[in-house]
Structure formats: structure tokens, C-alpha cells
Structure 1
Amino acid sequence: MHVRDLTQYLAELSENNNRAWFVMNKPRYDILRAEFLELVVRLIADISKFDPAIAGCNPKKALFRINRDMRFSHDKSPYKTYFSASITASGLKKPSQGGGPAYYFHIDADGTLLVAGGEYMPPADRLRAIRNQVVADSLGFGKLLKNKKFKETYGTLQTEGKLVRPPKGFDVDSPHIEYIKLKNFIVWKEQPLKKMLSDALEKELVSGFKDAYPLVGWLRQIKTPVTE
């Protein structure tokens, strides 16, 4: 895809975030959206080489809409100023729908690429299942944290929204208690796109997703209890 054209479009959209401008520039959007979809198609094929569970992901459903949900937001700007996609084995994007661990990325109006893997804001029952698995499989969880490529690329899990105290049902002496306090089990990294070409972008994404696979694979083995 034409990375420079996409970032230019998003920069202009951020300055003209209204329906009139969007409609006038719809042909540009349609072309960029089609190119972005083609990128996701290739990414699914590339990821499937080290994570075969991804092979059945529907690329069209992996893309997020550019329209913002303004129902509960003070910001009434109608459009997102980034293109994003979430690639999952289930084909579902949202954690609330049971999407499970994902490979996520977005490109924003500032020309920044974000690459991520794991589960962001999982619902309460799913979060408890993950926390329980941290205790039940403390050795396996510790092994993924020590994975060389994982550490080199991401360091460790993001600590955004971390609890101050252990969640209910977990003791301060529980294995990996600092990770049990997390509300998200995800890693991410950001970098400027600058003059990055399409081939380099795709290579960077695949490399980042491959390094996140130890976390994605570990999370995928966890079964969320079915509540009646």
C-alpha cells in the first residue's frame, strides 16, 4: 500500500474531521481502504506460517470501521484518524464478543505505527480465567516472559490500568502477583513510519507479530468458563 498517501490522508482528515470533507474525499478513502485490506490479506497469510490458527480469519472482518462511536464520548468528531485491524483466530475483533487474543496494528495521522499482540480489556470472566491460568501455569507463563525475542521487542507486558492490590481471590504471595494485577494482557510498540515503504511495513508487522506469538499462543489455550 502507499504508506505516504495514507498518512497524508489521515493528517488531512484530522484537520477536517467532518462529513462534508469525508464525502468529498471518499474516492481517496476507498482506494486506501482497499490497499489496507490487501495488506491485511497478506498479513494473515504470513502470520499463518507461524500461527496456523489464524489462517481462517476473514480479512474484511479484521478491519475496524473508520466511523467513531460517539454515543458516550464528549468528542463528537465523526471519524477516527487512524486505520486499524485486529487479526484473530476466532475472526471476532471485540473482547466482549469473545474475540480472544489478537494481533493488532494501526497507522495514525501522525505517521506512527503501533504493533500489538494479546488481549486488551478482556471482560471480567475472561480476565479471571487468565489470572487463574497465571497461577495454574506459573512455569509456562514465566517461560513466555523470558522468551528472548519477546523480551527484545516488547520488554514485558504493558502495565496500563494495573491494580494497586491483588484482585479478590488472589494472595499477595501468588506466583507472578504483579502480572495478576493487570487488567490487560498485551504488549505493544510504537515507531515512526517516516519514509517506510509497503514492503518494509509488512516485514515490520510480521516480525512484531511473530515476537508476540508466545503471549498470543499462551492466552489462546485458556478456556473461559461458560456461565448459564
Structure 2
Amino acid sequence: MHTRDLIQFLSELSENNNRAWFVMNKPRYDILRAEFLELVTALIPQIVKFDPAVAGCNPKKALFRINRDMRFSRDKSPYKTTFSAAITASGLKKPSQGGGPAYYFHVDAEGKLLVAGGEYMPPPDRLRAIRQHVVADADGFSKMLKNRKLKETYGDLQQEGKLARPPKGFDADAPHIEYLKLKSFIVWKETAIGKRVPADLGKELAAGFRDAYPLVAWLRQAA
């Protein structure tokens, strides 16, 4: 995959986020999109080596569309300035669709690679199930958080969007109360790759996802 070309395209798109520019540059987009699909297609078998559950994931469906949903947004820019994909066991990439825990990554217009694993902003019913699982499997949750590879690569779970108080139905002295306040159960890391493009991006992504696997596996147990 020509990563530098992708970053250059996204950078130009961020400065010319309109339909006329995109139509003029559609041939560039089509080539880069095809290369990105090849990357995801080759990445899935690498993930299967440590997580066989994703073997049935359709790479075409794992890719996110570049068109933005502007219906409920004040930002009327028609296009995203990232190329992104989410690989799941269910084959569904969106939390609202019940996709479950995912391996997610994107490349953005600033030349940053974000690698993530877990569930970002799951719907209310799913979030409650995860929180109940934290309480029911407090020891298992602790063990997962202490996993050496997970901690070395990602540190702790991301703390963005945290409630100020315990969620409804959970006591203030419940196990892992600070984690119960989270609205997402996800880890991620961000790396600047604009000047230092990985020699094998797929291999680097697979390694990052392997280190996130303990969280993904634990989340799959929440029902």
C-alpha cells in the first residue's frame, strides 16, 4: 500500500472538502481504496492466527465509507479525512448494529495511524451488559487489565467520556467502580507515520491487535 500517497490525498481532501474536488480526484481515491482493501484482506488472516473468531469477517464490509453522515451534524463537510476499518467476529463494524468488540484502525490527514481494540460507545443495552460483566467477573477483569502486552502497548483503558457518578443500578462500592463509569471499553494508541512509514503496515497492525486481544476476548464473554 502506498501510505504516503494516501496521507497526501487525505491532506488535500481536508483542505478541499467538497464534491467538486472529490469528483476530480476520484481516480486517485479509487486506487487508494483498492489498496486499502488489499491491506485489510491480508490483515484478517494474520489476526485469525491468534483470534480465529474473525475468520468470517468480510473485508469489504470492514471498511468504512468515506462519505460522512451529515444529517445530525453541524459540520456539513461531505467527506471523512480518514481511511478506516473495523474487523469483528460478527462482521458488523458499527456498535449500533451490534457489532461487538472490534479491531479498529485508521490513517488520517495528519499522517497519524490509530490502532484500537474493544468497544467504542456501545448502545445502552450492550453497555449495561459489559458493566454487569465487570461486576460478575471482577477477578477476570483485573487479570485482563494486568496483561503484560496489553499494558505495555496501550497502558490503561481509555478514560474519555467518563461519568461523574456511578451508572444507574450500580453501587458506589461496586468492584472496579471507576471503570463502570466508562462509556467505552477500548484501548488505543496513535503513531505518527507520515515521515516514518512502517516497512510492513499489516504486520504492525496485527501486532497491535494481538496485544489488544485480551480485552476483545474478555468483552466477548459479556452477554
- Displaced runs of 4+ in structure 1, greater than 2 A? 194-200
- Structure 2's unaligned 5+ residue stretches are none
Alpha-carbon distance in structure 2 between the residues aligned to 1:147 and 1:28: 42
Cα offset for 1:23? 0.6
- What one-letter code is carried by the residue in structure 1 that aligns with 2:141? F
Aligned to 1:185: 185
Alignment of 1:154-193 (within 5 A): 154-193=154-193
Aligned to 2:101: 101
Alignment of 1:80-119 (within 5 A): 80-119=80-119
Cα offset for 1:92? 0.3
Cα offset for 1:194? 2.7
SS at match of 2:55: helix
Alignment of 1:61-76 (within 5 A): 61-76=61-76
Task: Work out whether residues 2 and 197 of structure 1, in 8 Å CA contact, stay in contact via their aligned partners in 2.
Answer: no
Cα offset for 1:185? 0.3
Task: Give % identity.
Answer: 78
Alpha-carbon distance in structure 2 between the residues aligned to 1:160 and 1:111: 23
Alignment of 1:209-224 (within 5 A): 209-223=209-223
Task: Work out whether residues 7 and 194 of structure 2, in 8 Å CA contact, stay in contact via their aligned partners in 1.
Answer: no
Aligned to 1:201: 201
Aligned to 1:52: 52
Task: Work out whether residues 100 and 119 of structure 1, in 8 Å CA contact, stay in contact via their aligned partners in 2.
Answer: yes
Task: Work out whether residues 63 and 86 of structure 2, in 8 Å CA contact, stay in contact via their aligned partners in 1.
Answer: yes
Alignment of 1:116-127 (within 5 A): 116-127=116-127
Alpha-carbon distance in structure 1 between the residues aligned to 2:33 and 2:221: 33
Alpha-carbon distance in structure 1 between the residues aligned to 2:159 and 2:198: 31
- What one-letter code is carried by the residue in structure 1 that aligns with 2:98? G
Provide, for residues 169-223 of structure 1, a one-character-per-residue CA deviation record: whole Å limited to 9, x for no partner.
Answer: 1111111111011000001110100344464322221111011000000001222
- Structure 1's unaligned 5+ residue stretches are 224-228
Task: Work out whether residues 37 and 60 of structure 1, in 8 Å CA contact, stay in contact via their aligned partners in 2.
Answer: yes
Cα offset for 1:120? 0.5
Alpha-carbon distance in structure 2 between the residues aligned to 1:189 and 1:180: 22
Task: Work out whether residues 87 and 104 of structure 2, in 8 Å CA contact, stay in contact via their aligned partners in 1.
Answer: yes
Cα offset for 1:51? 0.2
- What one-letter code is carried by the residue in structure 2 that aligns with 1:113? L
TM-score by structure 1 length?
0.96
Alpha-carbon distance in structure 1 between the residues aligned to 2:42 and 2:12: 27
SS at match of 2:209: helix
Task: Work out whether residues 111 and 194 of structure 1, in 8 Å CA contact, stay in contact via their aligned partners in 2.
Answer: yes
Cα offset for 1:121? 0.6
Please say if 1:145 is aligned against 2:145.
yes
Aligned length: 223
Aligned to 2:20: 20
